[in-house]
């Protein structure tokens, strides 16, 4: 194999001569045309490496690889980004053998994907401010360099925390161009990294992020709301491909066949644990214990597997429905709500049983619904916070162009979290949701608010209901005229909701 090594790393040549991926590498990612291996460091003080191996399978891609050397282009993109002042992964060598190409890059020690790093620091006010400051500088550097990235998302940005500051590093840079003719689409792709945190970023923080990339103060908040709209639009365009991958073995889930039936499983749960959860659920229903809900179409029970509490939801006789199975819809909706950053109960697995029933395995969020929490809180600050959170979560659904068919206070669960958690609520029972290509119609928004208030009217006063609506308006960004029309439609649909 012929290797090309950067002049700054002459010591790597010896390692390349003795490199044996099969014996020393750890496979971390794989698909039909690519494998990525982690090569551990030879000593604790040294730095490991990642080796990306591209192996085209079809004749078309093998012929193309002869003239379009992917590893070389990614290597050159890294050099161009570093010269433009954009923090980028350190690519040290590239090579080729036949139509296969190989790229060697240094490990970012302690690096975490952007969303994961945000989750670790968002509850600490000081670290949160440092994180957003570093993110603003990183986005500003990419905007100043006028880069165009064909696949820019949060998994392609690693965050390293050191000495109280956060450094952001761009990885997976194939196809990146520097100094291109600047357009709105390229800038939207960059600012989409900030919009991916949108549910948890306050308006003052979002304004500072927009200022750091050169947006004028008067346009900061409108631009932020436009970026959120673009983010949801981008997720909608990605959805057909993600849906296909959620229905077969892929990097998103694994497909398993066993005596129980056909499983689709997220990486968080093994097939043995999922099968044990279903067996425990069947035992619960047979002995009438641990039942959370039972009806003519479905039933739920709580189980414990390996010290972890789970909820199993069973759908009766749904095999004949095909594409219209409610368990299939819930499995796909769980992932799509995650794409829209809507806090919802996570779904770990879906079983299509041989007897025609369907089973979903969810995380257990506890028994406390919003309806019960408000009934026992009385007049308190925490009660107002819960109502504000319900308004924000409803607005986030509508901003993401999602309408829940049964958005009642019983389908919001109060979850324990840090004191400054932005939304102490999570959504459950989402097998019946509708997604719109453009903005949600006002009639559907009003219908959701009516559903929410129907169970809250007996236990809430006018001031509390207005608190919920005010939080809804702030999150949606409605102007006064639009919000007044919404209130009029709401009062018409549910008389007395705004009266004392």
Contacts of 413 (CB under 8 A, 6+ apart): 345, 365, 366, 368, 369, 370, 425, 426, 427, 428
Lowest-confidence range among 1-5, 46-50, 70-74, 312-316?
1-5
**Beta carbons within 8 Å of 496's beta carbon, 6+ residues apart:** 457
The pLDDT, as a whole number, for residue 439 is: 84
For residue 163, is pLDDT > 80? yes
Of 232, 240, 218, the closest CA to residue 188 belongs to 232
Q: Is pLDDT of 499 > 70? A: no
Number of structural domains, the chain?
Answer: 4
In the numeric block, the tokens 């509850």 are attached to 123
Do residues 137 and 69 share a domain? Answer: no
Q: Verify that 301 and 267 share a domain, yes or no.
A: yes
CATH number of the CATH domain containing 36: 3.30.200.20
Q: Specify whether the CB–CB gap between 101 and 183 falls below 8 A.
A: no
Instruction: Decide if 500 is inside a domain.
Output: no
Report the share of the chain in percent with pLDDT over 90. 31
Residue 70: which domain range?
2-106
Could you tell me the sign of the dihedral formed by the alpha carbons of 416, 418, 419, 424, in that order?
A: negative
Residue 126 shares a structural domain with residue 199: yes
- Out of 106, 136, 153, a domain closes at 106
Together in a domain, 229 and 292: no
Name 376's Cβ contacts closer than 8 Å, sequence gap at least 6.
none
Residue 23: is its pLDDT beyond 80?
no
263 and 348 housed in the same domain: yes
Average pLDDT score, the chain: 85
Tokens 């607005």, located at residue: 395
C-alpha–C-alpha distance, residues 427 and 410, integer Å = 10
Question: Is residue 190 helix, strand or coil?
Answer: helix
> How far, in Å, CA of 316 to CA of 108, rounded?
49
Instruction: Name the domain boundary from 106, 127, 143.
Output: 106
Do 160 and 218 belong together in one domain? Answer: yes
Q: Which of 357, 339, 446 is nearest to 400 (CA)?
A: 339
Pair (440, 390) in one structural domain:
yes
Alpha-carbon distance of 151 to 173, in angstroms, equals 8
- CATH assignment of the domain containing 433: 1.10.510.10
pLDDT tens digits along 466-480: 889 999 998 888 888
Q: What pLDDT does 59 receive? A: 77
Kindly state the helix (H) or strand (E) to which residue 343 belongs, with its residue range: none
CA proximity to 341, closest of 423, 434, 274, 461: 423
pLDDT in tens, 93-128: 888 887 788 888 888 888 889 988 888 888 788 888
Cβ 248 vs Cβ 265: under 8 Å: no
Structure tokens that stand for 334 in this block: 């769980």
**CA 165 – CA 379 distance, rounded (Å):** 41
d(CA 343, CA 423): 8
CA pseudo-torsion sign 289, 292, 295, 300: negative
The answer to whether residues 452 and 412 belong to one domain is yes
pLDDT for 299: 94
Q: How far apart are CA 191 and CA 188, in angstroms?
A: 5
Residues 280 and 275: their CA atoms lie apart, in Å, by: 9
The answer to whether position 305 is within a domain reads yes
Give the span between the Cα atoms of 15 and 101, in whole angstroms: 18
Q: Tokens representing 179?
A: 């100094």
Residue 353: which CATH number?
3.30.200
147 within a domain of the structure (yes/no): yes
Identify the CATH number of the domain in which residue 146 sits: 1.10.510
Residue 12's pLDDT band (cuts 50, 70, 90): low
Q: Has residue 167 been placed in a domain? A: yes
pLDDT given at position 52 = 87
Identify the CA nearest to 194 among candidates 152, 252, 165, 248: 152
Q: Which of 83, 106, 129 is at the close of a domain?
A: 106
- Residues 117 and 237 placed together within one structural domain of the fold: yes
């Amino acid at each position: 194999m012929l290797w090309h090594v950067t002049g700054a790393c002459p010591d790597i040549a010896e390692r390349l001569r003795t490199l044996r991926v099969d014996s020393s590498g750890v496979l971390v990612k794989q698909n039909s045309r690519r494998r990525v291996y982690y090569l551990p460091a030879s000593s604790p003080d040294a730095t490991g490496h990642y080796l990306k191996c591209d192996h085209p399978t079809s004749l078309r891609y093998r012929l193309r690889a002869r003239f379009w050397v992917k590893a070389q282009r990614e290597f050159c993109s890294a050099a161009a980004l570093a010269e433009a002042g954009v923090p980028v992964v350190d690519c040290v060598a590239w090579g080729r053998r036949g139509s296969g190409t190989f790229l060697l890059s240094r490990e970012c020690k302690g690096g975490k994907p952007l969303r994961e790093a945000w989750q670790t620091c968002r509850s600490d006010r000081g670290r949160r401010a440092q994180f957003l400051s570093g993110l603003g500088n990183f986005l500003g550097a990419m905007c100043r360099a006028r880069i165009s990235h064909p696949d820019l998302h949060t998994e392609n940005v690693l965050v390293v925390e050191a000495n109280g500051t956060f450094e952001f590093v761009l990885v997976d840079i194939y196809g990146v161009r520097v100094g291109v003719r600047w357009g709105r689409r390229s800038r939207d792709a960059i600012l989409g990294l900030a919009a991916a945190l949108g549910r948890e970023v306050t308006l003052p923080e979002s304004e500072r992020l927009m200022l750091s990339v050169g947006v004028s103060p008067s346009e900061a908040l409108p631009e932020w709301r436009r970026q959120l709209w673009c983010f949801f639009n981008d997720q909608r365009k990605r959805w057909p491909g993600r849906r296909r991958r959620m229905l077969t073995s892929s990097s998103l889930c694994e497909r398993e066949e066993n005596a129980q039936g056909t499983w689709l499983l997220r990486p968080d749960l093994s097939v043995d644990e999922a099968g044990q959860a279903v067996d425990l659920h069947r035992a619960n229903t047979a002995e009438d214990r641990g039942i959370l809900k039972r009806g003519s179409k479905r039933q739920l029970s709580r189980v414990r597997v390996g010290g972890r509490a789970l909820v199993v939801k069973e759908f009766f006789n749904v095999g004949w429905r095909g594409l219209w199975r409610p368990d299939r819809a819930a499995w796909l909706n769980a992932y799509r709500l995650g794409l829209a950053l809507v806090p919802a109960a996570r779904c770990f697995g879906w079983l299509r049983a041989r007897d025609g029933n369907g089973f979903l395995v969810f995380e257990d969020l506890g028994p406390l619904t919003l309806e019960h929490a408000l009934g026992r809180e009385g007049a308190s600050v925490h009660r107002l916070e819960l109502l504000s959170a319900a308004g924000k979560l409803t607005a986030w659904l509508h901003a993401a162009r999602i309408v829940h068919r049964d958005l009642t206070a019983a389908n919001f669960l109060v979850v324990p979290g840090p004191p400054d958690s932005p939304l102490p609520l999570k959504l459950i029972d989402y097998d019946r949701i509708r997604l719109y290509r453009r903005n949600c119609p006002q009639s559907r928004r009003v219908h959701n608010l009516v559903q929410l208030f129907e169970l809250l009217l007996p236990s809430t006063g006018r001031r509390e209901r207005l608190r919920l609506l005010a939080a809804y308006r702030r999150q949606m960004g409605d102007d006064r005229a639009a919000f007044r029309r919404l209130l009029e439609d709401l009062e018409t649909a549910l008389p007395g909701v705004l009266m004392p």
